[in-house]
Every structure is written in structure tokens, then in C-alpha cells.
Structure 1
Amino acid sequence: MALKTSFLCVLALFFCGSIHAAPASAAKNHAGQRPIAGGQWSQDHYSSLTQIDRDNVSKLSIAWKFDTGEGGEGIETNPLVVGHVMYAYTASQKVIAVNATNGKLIWKFDSGVLANQPARGVAYWSDGSQQLLLCGIMNYLYELNAATGKPVARFGEAGRIDLRKGLGGDYRKQSIVLTSPGIVYKDLIIVGGRNPETPPAPPGDIRAFDIHTGQLAWDFHTIPRPGEPGYETWPTGAWRSAGAANNWAGMTLDERRGIVYVPTGSAVPDFYGGARVGDDRFADCLLALNAATGKLIWSFQGVHHDLWDRDFPAPPVLLRVKRDGKWIDAVAQTTKQGFVFLFDRETGKPLFPIEERPVPATNVPGEVSAKTQPFPLSPAPYARQTLTSSDLTNRTPAAHAYALSQFNQFIRSTGQFYPLSVGRETIVAPGFDGGGEWGGPGVDRRSGVIYINANNVVDTGGLAINDRTAELGLRIYRTQCALCHRDNRAGSPPEYPSLVGIRDKLPASLIIQTIHTGKGRMPSFPNIEGSALTALFNYLNTANDAADFVADGKELRHDAIPDHTSRAGNPAVDARGKEVYAKQCAICHGDHLEGIPPSFPSLEGVGGRMTAQQITAIVHTGRGRMPAFNASRIPQTDMSSLLRFLNASTINTIEVSNDAQVPALDEMNRYRFTGYHKFQDQDGYPAVSPPWGTLNAIDLNTGKYLWTVPLGFYPELAANGMGNTGTENYGGPIVTASGLVIIGATVFDNRIRAFDSRTGRLLWDWTLPFAAAATPTTYMIDGKQYVVIASGGSKFKHTNDGFYIAFSLP
């Protein structure tokens, strides 16, 4: 269609566009390529390649390096290789196609969406004549032409689906992010999403969309509705207000049987369930669904009425094991608790016994904890289950004394599923980050041996009563922010930064942007708006940032600027702003500010990216292909209305009444979690004895461990003679037919390593520029085998750059 000018089209020059260097080369998939994140839909991370083996792996060196030009909290992408092309993400979720033999950029897709959440891979579909990529970018699912990187217009709305839609309520106030790639089955793309940890949160529906049109094909409700299985395990009508029970970890497909295996997480709020009394099926479940229809085949719940945020953290893996001399097709699920559950793929029958054991009861008024929880009798857990004084660190006498003094203040759990208490912290072992984590395990599909990297540290957590009489900003902070940043705003750095003195660190506009779009592990909070947002700013003491009140060297009169924080505001003014937007902007940017990327970016949250003064200046003077719009075309009154509609004017510090809109402090918010606290010594190292991270080989035919080795080290401790302690690790291993287990994941030493899969002996390692918090990929092109991994830092250490680095033999 003919291009019509829009006064905000200039934003397209800032936030979107594709870079093209050459067309992508597509080829039929074979053993030397990885057309699926995880290696194949079985998620076993297995490769049949053998060129790189035990004898020559020590000779690996860098074949090529691709610089993404972006830093941040890490790149968690497991690259996908088809033909001669590698598809991956940058830290800001730009999709890239790179020549997999030399690291040269082919194209880059920039959606224009402000993106800063993890992106762990893309999905691929081909019918032989066309090749498509299905890519999650924040709350959108994009379909791209794999050869050009351009959106496929017929899919959804101009090449994308807004996953917030169809979950009930005002979709613009929903928060959902697609952090793990969907599953492609025939002509369907099946997805879940990452939801907030606090209410309000949308339900964790599992949805399938038509590859060609983007139309919804089926929808499985993880929070059951009347007449659906599991409805009786929730309070009556819970589906109307309960949230999450979502799949953020990714899925697994048995393509021959047409079964998709979906692990889910906890319901919100994570740590208090007074408003969701019951077992809360299908939260914390492994679901086996008919991939064509979404109908339930079987399910297993790993945690009843979860009070510990024990989400299933990774896709299950498909493998074959022997029982009574016969091969059985099985599915294995790893957990944060350090358990491995093993089931018959078709029936869900456990292949190792699972025992429902009595567990301690809660002492929190209003809470009703589950009486029993499931424990697999084999294999033994791969992470510590309890903590005693004899397990404390002996790194130095001072560290031990400090750890002991802290230990004596905590409630000491006697194992898994010890409920948190009010007013005193409880030991949680393993910690909230596992055990197993999102990287998932690898499997030698020939032998049935599973390789699991695990965290082996301890956290503490507790509950506090929410004061319903507290001022509004404090109430909002406690219900929405304290979960991670703690009651005192001190956070738990570096994972959860301190918000003390935030006004001196960030401008108000960037804080708004972060609240409304999220960042890293932080979900978005679009529901915090209007006077509630202003109250939160008042509490954080950030609203007086002078930088936001200055234009042309003069201080702006606050009363001359529309209230940026009020979307409702004056209905007449808002209505006029909507009319102006519809006339001037909607032709390019959509009726709901959603845009038509890459040509016309989304304007959702533009007020968090640009000040009222900046937008007004662009309107009046024009820029690029956008003409100027003088006062005769957009009078000042219309400009003010438009700014209010766009939610784009300056924050004012104002007093608000306690009846302003805020998430309801009902039974769901009766208590709050006091924050994630790692049990550390006075120097910031784990306050427990090593190993703090491990790599484990378990024979799932027998449930017996073959070997366990520490994984990772702290360079400064190693320099003083304390090496090989193991560390926290994020990202999974790959397993090769030539007897190798290759893994990055260690977030403090920046290494990638290769181990002998039979013995656990270290055969090779390489120091990367930054931590590799990702799963590697191996592939073969033109007779040469490569291993590639993302090196972009982690939540523990942010970077100013990020790379994909490929290794090969000389």
C-alpha cells in the first residue's frame, strides 16, 4: 500500500529495521546440523557427530567469532543451524542469521520492540519449499522468512501474534514473555510463556497457533475451568483470578506419537497459597498433551500446592531405558529439588517408584499446606537436601564463624517441603535456583545415561504480614517489588539489584520503561499505572529527577504538562487524544499502538523511552522522512491530549489517596515473601561446604550414579589454592557419540569445557571473553565439525558486549 506520513514514523529509524548481506541458505536437515533448539524435539542435547573425540578435543581452537555489539545480562540462546546458516538472538532480542562457517552476518531483524528478557532459541519450520522461523520477542511471537529475516505478513497481525491477547481482561495490562522457543508440530506452533511471580498474573495457558495464519488452533487451561479435569483441586471459580501455572521452561515433542510434553511452574503468589487452597493442578506438573488437539493424555504433579517456587525448570528429555531386558520409551524430568522423575512416555507410569511422604505442616494462619509430597526413590538427589552445622563452609575460620552465626538464626528445615514462616527465615536446600536449572540435561541416547549440571548452594526465605494501612506506594512496593528487591530495597546483588538511591542511578523515564517492559529476570508490570505508579515513585523517591523537568535550559511548569501516569485521566481529554492518534498515527502504528514492524515500530510504552519534550520537538520539527506538523495542524490542546493518550508526558510528584488503583490486598496478598536471600559468608561466597556446582552422570537403566565432578571455580579462590570448588551454573551440556560432554554454564570462570562421558575426566577447556550462560551447539558443514556457544555474561556479571564463538579442529 502507498506510504502515508505519520508524525511518529521517524521512530522507525530509531528502533527497527533489518540488515541484509546475503540470502540465507537452507538445506535438508541431517545429522551434521541442528535445526531444533536442544538438538532435536527430544531435547536430549545429543549429537551423532564423531569428528571431535576424546583423543583430539584438546586441539580445539577458535574457528570464528561473531560480535553482537550488545552487552547486558547475558545471551542464553542455544543457536539453531540449518544448512550453512546459524540463527540466534542478541542480548536485546534482535534475531540474527550468521554464516555458520565463518561468522559473517547474513541478516539481522530488529522488531522495534524494546526487549531485554532472556531468549533461549528460535523454532524452525519448512515444507521443503519455504523456510520459516518462529521467534519470541517479549510478548510477541514473530514469524520470519528464514532467507531474508522479514516478517511473514499473513501470520497473525502483520507477521506477529501478541501473546497477551486471549488470556482474559485488558490484554494491555497483561505480562507474558516468550523466553523459550515453541514446539513445531506439523503446521502448528505450540507455546507457553513466562508470567509474573506476583498477582495479578495471567493464566499459564498452553496454546497452539496455525503456522500459516497465526489463528488459534487449541488452548489448554493449566488453571482448569468448570467441567475440566483438575477443577476440583482449586477453590471454586479460581480460574477467574488465579494466575501463572505457566510453561516458561520449554517443551518436548514425541513427533511419532504426536505427544507434546509440557512442564509447568507454580501458581501465584509463589510463597503463600491462602487464596488457592488445594493441590492446584496443573501447576508444577508434567503434562502429556495431544499435540494436534491439546487434549490431556496424562499428567504428573511434582509439587502439590507449591509454596517454594519449585517450577519444573527445563524441558523433559526423551530417551530409551531397559527394563527386564526390554527397551522402553521414556521421558525424564529434572527438577529444582535435585530429583529425576522417569515415566513411560505413553502412559505416564513411573519407571522408578515414587512415594507420597508426609511433610511438615505450615504454621502460617490462612495457609493450608499439602499433607504429602512425591519423592522418587531412585535415582538419589543430585543436590543437597538438608543443611546441618557440619555442612558449613571452612573456607576460612572467619567465614565459618560468620556462617555459623547466621545459621543459628534460621529455621532449620529437615528436608524438602518445609513451609516458610512469618518473622523468621527458613533454610531452603537446594536454593531457589536449584538443583537443576533451565539449561536442562543431556542424554546419550544409545546408553540411557543422563548428564545433569546442578547448583548445590542454599538460600533462605520467609514471609511477612502486609500492612493494609500502609501508604499506597509502600503497599505497591511490598506486593510487587519486595519479592526480589527485599523489604528494605537492598535487593540481593548481583542477581537482584539494590533500589536504595535509585534516583541517583536512573532517570525517571528509564525506571518507567523498566517497570512496564521488565528487564532480565524481572517481568513487566503494565498494570502499575496512573496514581498507583506515581505513588510507587514517591515511595522510591525518584520522581523529582531534575533531568525530566528541563527543556531549553528552563524548568518546565508542572501544571502545564499532562499527567504522564494517568491513562484514564479526564475521559474527554483521553477521547480527544485517541481521535488525534487515530487520524495521524494509526495508519502506520496500529489501532492499539502495536505498530507494523519492522517498518513502523510499536509505540507501546513510548512514554518510557522518550519524554514529552522529545516527542513534541519531533512533531514540530520533523525528522528523516517525517514532515513537520506545526500548531495549525496539531494545536497545543490536541498535542496535550495526544501526549496523555500516548502516556508520554513528564512524571510529577503528587500526593494520592489510598483508594487509588492498586492490586487488591485481598487474601492473595495477605502475606508477602521477604525476598530471595542466598546463604553466603561475609565475603559473598556460599556459606556451605563445596562442591557448589556439579556435573553428574546417572545411568537411568539402573538409577545409579556413574560419576560426579565439581563444575566451575572462582578465579580469585583458585589463585589462593582453593580451586575446583564448583560454582552456580546456568546453561546445559551437549553429548556426542564420540564420548564427550561439552558444557559452558559456569558463570564466574568464563569457561567452556569438554569431559570424558565415561569417567568425568576433564579433557579440554577454554577461557571465553564472558560467561557462557547458554547451551552450546555442535554441527558439521562441508566435512568440518564445529562447536559454537554464546558468550555474553550472566545475571551475576553484566557485560558491554556479547559474542558467538565457534571452535573446530585445525
Structure 2
Amino acid sequence: MTAAVTAASLRRRLAVGAAALAMASGLAGAALAASAGTANGEWPEHGGDADFHRYSPLTQINKANVGKLAIAWRRAALTDELKAEEPGLRAGANFQSTPLMVGGRLFAQNAMGLVDAFDPATGKTLWRQERFPGDPVRGASGRGVSYWREGADERILTIRGEHLYAIDAKTGRLVKSFGDGGRAELHSAFGKLAPTFTWRGWPTICRNVAIVGAAMTDAPSNKEEPPGVVQAFDVRTGKRLWTFNPIPQAGQPGNETWKNDSWRYTGEGNVWAPLSSDSQLGLVYLPTGSPTNDNYGGHRLGDNLFTDSLVALNCETGAHAWHFQAVHHDLWDYDLNNGPILADLKVGGKSIKAVVQLTKFGSTFVLDRTTGKPVWPIVERPVPTSTTPGEVTSPTQPMPTKPPAYERQGVTTDDLIDFTPELRAEGLKMAKDYVLGPIFTPAVVRGGPGEKQAVLQVPAGGAGWYGASLDPDTNVLFVPTFTRPLLLEVLPGDPAQTNLRYTKGPRALADGPQGLPLVKPPYGSIVAIDLNRGETLWTVANADGPRSHPALKGLTLPPLGMPSHDMPVATKTLLFVVQADPVSLNGRTRDGDLPLEPYFDNKLRAYDKATGAVVWEMKLPAGSTASPMTYMYKGKQYLLVTIGSRTHAPEFVALSLP
């Protein structure tokens, strides 16, 4: 039986502290002006603006002239200047850096994770960051940087290795008054259990506070792991101001959701995805991940707050304002994996300051960003029970009543491939080894009792870390999403190697007939959602997909879509989406290859925002590996994409009109 979430039932699932309401009203008088964002043709934040809209009101490139777009300049992620500093450097294929554009300069991490400033019209280097004494040239690139300004003081904040750096935006020199000579260390907050600190993200700046997440292992050796601590630093001084532990300790709210004192040793729950913030409310929004051992939780019974939750904190103090848990006792690796989107909605004639959280599993959670209360009812629906010894699943999971899911949820035999009777028969035969069921079907033990060796997990794609694009004038959200069934299984732990009773399986892609997917298309889509009404406006396939596959020869098929992390940016006139390169897909089949790889077309497409029709497309030298952005410089609008592959060196490519 389905029951709407009431105020009483929300006490456990959704905590809205009285302190949150007092804080919100108390901050109103001290609210800082919101960022001008992209209104002046700049791109000052990774998501365009502080609201994470990935939107610009620019109109120079439009439906009438988009066909004239051409490459204006290209810039290698590993430039000649960088190569000269240390011969033998090699750039990784999965280069995910997106530039900012502020004050007539582009800022981005290069292939070694050092920040470069370069000319928006030519891509030529303006400066490269000063390295801290002893820092190597070699390093790993991140996804972005942050910009902060107070009067004449302009800074770029960036994370490289185990440190947060502050760099003078005018010169590239380290700001020596920040932290220890220009940097603040990030490792010590995790204690001795964490061998190192790493994160590909960028600091979120709210009220002169820089807030930092962390990446952590998905394959822990034991049940004892460090928690994914979030840290906050003073932008001016580099002093650590507060930390937030997503696993509440003794006496803290939420601690009771960890049975048998499992909070003492369980780790992860980290914020590896982008954060967002509302400086006027003084709140930062944290999308947290799953706890230790993604697919088995017998050692951490309970709902496991604050994992898999959207958590709102006071950005100046770290005080808890509210939270909403999207997945109770996660057994599916359903981290909240993208930046929360802030939207000022008009719902039933009422203005609502909302926060929108997309997910890997196709649900869109729309909450009041001041209080955390759902904008539309969220119901707790019964879900399947685990058969794994020692496991106790949550009896229900929260399901939004609006908007509809943008990705298929669960799988039955009706969802299996059926292009031809032969493919259908082969697909049915292959699926006999798997459990087919609704969303939130838990893993089975490989080699355990029964003939089923894995659960066919659908969805195991959904929205990616880059999120979506929101047109703030219409409140239409454009979501790239994809279907990629994975095999969900757990393996008995080897007592000689781990104290986990079960460990997660290899998370392989489910093989389909003749290298085709095991399920029906679409395999990737663009979905437009009206957030004012909570309704889907249109859905289109994101690419032609494998319709030229030899097994489909002679069939007249529409575009089938591709299971790729396609990345969007919207303007006043168009929606641009660039297809990701296969290197950015994490999954592989059991034998290590990717059968669909020949059908990735590496195209940049412009869509009609009203209908989803493709207005224009252009094949790029490689697929995208990072979020695109757009800006205006000296009267010309540019569209910038980041591309790369195993065979194409990563680079920035800027397009413009002649």
C-alpha cells in the first residue's frame, strides 16, 4: 500500500530543524547580493551561476545562424609551455576541466591540474599558476576552479592533490596570506584511516566561505572506513572554519539510524559530486553518497543518515538546517551524483524557492530550499526484500509524485530487446541468468542458492555528475539521461582479505545479443521537464545509436540513443548537448570491451527548446569529457567544449560564428 509522506512520517525521513527556520529569517537582513551569473556574457561559476543553471541568456547564436558555427580556436590540455617544463608528460584521456570566463579571461585547470589563464578570443596563455615550493609539475586534473572577488582582490581557488590553493587572478601568483604560504591542507580532517585526500571537484563559495567535498573508494577492503568529511575554509585566510561528518556521531540527530553502533566504523557517505549554495539564505546544499560497501549493508543496518541525502547547512557555521534522504540504506550505489539546481518556481500560483536534485535512478526530488519540504507529495513505496544473509533492506523508498521519472525504473521481460524475433529469443535466453524486477531490487549472492546469478539493475545510468540545464525564464529543465543495465551481485568475502561478510561484484555491463544492449531503446535521451507544473514536456533520443548494427540491417528504425554522459548548456535560443566519449563511461562488459563504441558519433547538437527537434549538429574530433560553457567576448559569442579520447589528445575547442 502506498502512503503519502505526512508531517509525522517525515520526522524520520525528512528533518527540518527549528534552527533552520530561525537561521533563514535571521540571515535575511544580512543576505548578500546574488551573483550576476551569466547575465553579462560571462561564465563565472562552473554551472554558469551559483544556482547551477548551466544557462546563458546570450542570443547571438540562434536557430537562424547556428548552421554557420565553426571552430574559432583550439587549446591543448597539455600545452607546449607545460611540456617544456618537464619532457615526457602525458595527458590522461578523461580530461574533465571546464573553464570559467570572468573579466575577459578564461581560467581552467590544465592536464596536470595546474591553473592556466588564457585569452577568450584565441586560447593563448596569459599566465600559469605559480607552483608551491616542492610541488611537482606532474599531477591529476580536476573538473573546475572557483572565482572570488572582494574589491581589487581577485582570486582563483583550486584543488590539486591534498591542498586547496588560492591564486591571484591577475598574475597567477600564490596568495601568500592564504593558509600556509598560499595553500591549505585537506588530508588531516579524515584521520589516519584515509591514506590520502583526493577530489576532482572545485570549492563552492558561499558568503566568503569555500566548501570542499571529497572522493573516496567504492571498493573498501574492510567495514572500517573514514567518513566523507566536508570541510569549509575562510576564503581570505585559508583557515578551516568547520567540518561536517555525514555519519552522525553519538548524541547527534540521525545517529539512531545506525543500528548496533555501526556509525563507529562505517565510512564514505562523501560528497564527491558538485555542491551548490544560496548566499542570500546562507545555505550550502550537499548531495551525499552511499556508505561503505555500495551493495551490501548487513554490517550497517538502519536507514544510515546522512548518506544518499541532500543536506542543507549554514555555510558560515556548518550548522544543520535540514536534510532529505533520497535512498534509505543504500544497496545500489545510488549516490546523489550531481549538483543541486536552485530554481524560483511558480507552483499553483505560489512562488517557491526550490532546490532540484536529479539522481542516477531517474527520480527528480523538488524541495523548498529554505525548509526542505517537498514541493509535491513524496510517497514511501514498498520495495523488494533482500535474500542475502545478514541483510535487512528498508521496507520502503521515497518516490516523487511529480515530476514523472525521466528514466525507466525497473525491468521486466517486456523491456528486453525485441527488434527481431531472433534477437528477442536470444535476449530472453541471456536474461534467464538474471533477476528482473522493480527499482530497488537488492543484489543477489553470486554462486548462492537458486539459478539467478545477478540482478539486472535498471536504471544504472540516469543523470550524470554534470547534471542538467535550466532555463530560468520558463523553468524548463533539460536533462540528459541514459539507460545502461548493470549486473548487481555480491560475493562472499574472503576472511583472509576482508571482514566484510559480502563484497560488491564487478558491476559489469549486461551483455546483450550480438553486442547490442539487452534492453529496448532509447539508450540515451534528452528530457524536458516543466518544473512549474511538474510535467514532462518532451523526450527525444540523444543520438542515432546502433541502428546501423549488422543485426538491424534492413529495419527502418528511429534514433535509438546512446548510453553516454552527454553534457548540456542552454541559451536563450537553443539547447546545446555534446555527446560524451566512451572513455567517460565507467562500465565495461565482462570481457572488458565496449561493443557500442563504434556507434558513438561524437557530435555536438543544437536542439529546439520547445520541441526537442535537432536544429543543427557537428561532428567533433572526439567526444566530450567535460561540461560545455558559453560566453561573450568583444562582441562575439563563443561555445566552448572539452574533448578527448584514448586516441585523441584532450583539448579545449571554441566555436563561434564567422
Contact 2:525 2:542 in 1 (8 A): yes
Query: The residue matched to 1:717 in structure 2 has which SS?
Result: coil
**Superposition deviation, residue 675 in structure 1:** 1.1
From 494, 502, 513, the equivalent of 1:467 is 494
Give 1:745's aligned residue: 579
Contact 2:481 2:524 in 1 (8 A): yes
Distance, in Å, in 2 between the alignment partners of 1:261 and 1:453 is 22
Give 2:82's aligned residue: none
Q: Aligned AA for 1:765? A: E
Q: Aligned AA for 2:66? A: V
- CA spacing shift, 1:179–1:458, aligned 2, 3 Å: same
- CA spacing shift, 1:152–1:349, aligned 2, 3 Å: same
Q: Which stretch of the first structure deviates more once superposed, 134-143 or 244-253? A: 134-143
Query: The residue matched to 2:655 in structure 1 has which SS?
Result: strand
Query: The residue matched to 1:390 in structure 2 has which SS?
Result: helix
Report Cα offsets for 1:540-569 as digits up to 9, x if no partner: xxxxxxxxxxxxxxxxxxxxxxxxxxxxxx
Q: Aligned AA for 2:116? A: I
Give 2:180's aligned residue: 157
Give 2:52's aligned residue: 43
Contact 2:470 2:478 in 1 (8 A): yes
How many matched pairs?
A: 578
Distance, in Å, in 2 between the alignment partners of 1:458 and 1:302 is 21
Query: The residue matched to 1:328 in structure 2 has which SS?
Result: strand
Distance, in Å, in 2 between the alignment partners of 1:198 and 1:438 is 20
Query: The residue matched to 2:344 in structure 1 has which SS?
Result: strand
Give 1:177's aligned residue: 198
From 109, 114, 122, the equivalent of 1:89 is 109
Query: The residue matched to 1:403 in structure 2 has which SS?
Result: helix
Distance, in Å, in 1 between the alignment partners of 2:37 and 2:512 is 53
Give 1:808's aligned residue: 656
Distance, in Å, in 1 between the alignment partners of 2:653 and 2:104 is 16
Give 1:790's aligned residue: 642
Contact 1:393 1:689 in 2 (8 A): yes
From 235, 240, 243, the equivalent of 2:259 is 235
| Structure 1 unaligned blocks of 5 or more | 1-26, 470-474, 476-664
Contact 2:37 2:43 in 1 (8 A): no
Q: Which stretch of the first structure deviates more once superposed, 152-161 or 330-339? A: 152-161
**Superposition deviation, residue 289 in structure 1:** 1.0
Give 1:679's aligned residue: 510
From 597, 603, 606, the equivalent of 1:754 is 606
1:302 pairs with 2:326: yes
Distance, in Å, in 2 between the alignment partners of 1:372 and 1:28 is 40
Give 2:17's aligned residue: none
Distance, in Å, in 1 between the alignment partners of 2:316 and 2:308 is 23
Query: The residue matched to 2:116 in structure 1 has which SS?
Result: strand
Contact 2:362 2:405 in 1 (8 A): yes
Identity in percent? 37
Contact 1:132 1:143 in 2 (8 A): yes
From 232, 240, 254, the equivalent of 1:208 is 232
Distance, in Å, in 1 between the alignment partners of 2:126 and 2:114 is 13
Distance, in Å, in 2 between the alignment partners of 1:344 and 1:28 is 22
From 120, 133, 143, the equivalent of 1:120 is 143
**Superposition deviation, residue 297 in structure 1:** 0.9
Give 1:763's aligned residue: 615
**Superposition deviation, residue 682 in structure 1:** 4.8
Give 1:709's aligned residue: 540
From 728, 733, 739, the equivalent of 2:568 is 733
- CA spacing shift, 1:403–1:466, aligned 2, 3 Å: same
Give 1:67's aligned residue: 76
From 363, 373, 392, the equivalent of 2:387 is 363
From 338, 359, 366, the equivalent of 1:314 is 338
| Mapping of residues 485-504 of structure 1, within 5 Å | none
Give 1:336's aligned residue: 360
Contact 2:546 2:560 in 1 (8 A): no
Give 1:378's aligned residue: 402
| Mapping of residues 487-636 of structure 1, within 5 Å | none
Contact 1:431 1:678 in 2 (8 A): no
Contact 2:37 2:49 in 1 (8 A): no
Give 1:31's aligned residue: 40
Distance, in Å, in 1 between the alignment partners of 2:38 and 2:579 is 27
| Mapping of residues 336-355 of structure 1, within 5 Å | 336-355=360-379
Give 1:388's aligned residue: 412
Give 1:537's aligned residue: none
Give 1:657's aligned residue: none
1:689 pairs with 2:520: yes
Report Cα offsets for 1:402-455 as digits up to 9, x if no partner: 422220111112x111111112443344343x2111110111101111110001
Report Cα offsets for 1:627-646 as digits up to 9, x if no partner: xxxxxxxxxxxxxxxxxxxx
Distance, in Å, in 2 between the alignment partners of 1:98 and 1:121 is 15
**Superposition deviation, residue 90 in structure 1:** 2.8
- CA spacing shift, 1:28–1:463, aligned 2, 3 Å: closer
Give 1:108's aligned residue: 128
**Superposition deviation, residue 50 in structure 1:** 1.4
Contact 2:362 2:459 in 1 (8 A): no
- CA spacing shift, 1:402–1:274, aligned 2, 3 Å: same
Give 1:276's aligned residue: 300
Give 1:510's aligned residue: none
- CA spacing shift, 1:176–1:404, aligned 2, 3 Å: farther
Contact 1:718 1:724 in 2 (8 A): no
Q: Aligned AA for 1:340? A: T
Q: Aligned AA for 1:174? A: P
Normalization by structure 2: what TM-score?
0.84
Contact 1:385 1:430 in 2 (8 A): yes
| Structure 2 unaligned blocks of 5 or more | 1-35, 79-89, 447-451, 582-599
- CA spacing shift, 1:715–1:441, aligned 2, 3 Å: same
Report Cα offsets for 1:567-607 as digits up to 9, x if no partner: xxxxxxxxxxxxxxxxxxxxxxxxxxxxxxxxxxxxxxxxx
Q: Aligned AA for 1:53? A: N
- CA spacing shift, 1:112–1:240, aligned 2, 3 Å: farther
**Superposition deviation, residue 108 in structure 1:** 3.0
Report Cα offsets for 1:164-214 as digits up to 9, x if no partner: 2122226xx534322121211232111111111133542112211112222
Distance, in Å, in 2 between the alignment partners of 1:296 and 1:736 is 35
Give the structure with the higher percent helix: 1
- CA spacing shift, 1:370–1:779, aligned 2, 3 Å: same
1:144 pairs with 2:167: yes
1:455 pairs with 2:289: no
Give 2:63's aligned residue: 54
Contact 1:141 1:178 in 2 (8 A): no
- CA spacing shift, 1:28–1:458, aligned 2, 3 Å: closer
- CA spacing shift, 1:411–1:240, aligned 2, 3 Å: same
**Superposition deviation, residue 689 in structure 1:** 1.4
Q: Aligned AA for 2:561? A: G
Higher relative contact order (CA 8 A, sep 6+): 1
Q: Aligned AA for 2:650? A: G
Q: Aligned AA for 1:802? A: P
Contact 2:468 2:568 in 1 (8 A): yes
Distance, in Å, in 1 between the alignment partners of 2:181 and 2:265 is 32
RMSD: 2.2
Distance, in Å, in 1 between the alignment partners of 2:503 and 2:622 is 36
**Superposition deviation, residue 28 in structure 1:** 11
**Superposition deviation, residue 398 in structure 1:** 5.4
From 210, 215, 224, the equivalent of 1:194 is 215
Give 1:99's aligned residue: 119
- CA spacing shift, 1:386–1:416, aligned 2, 3 Å: closer
Contact 1:195 1:201 in 2 (8 A): no
**Superposition deviation, residue 326 in structure 1:** 2.4
- CA spacing shift, 1:411–1:65, aligned 2, 3 Å: same
Q: Which stretch of the first structure deviates more once superposed, 339-348 or 678-687? A: 678-687
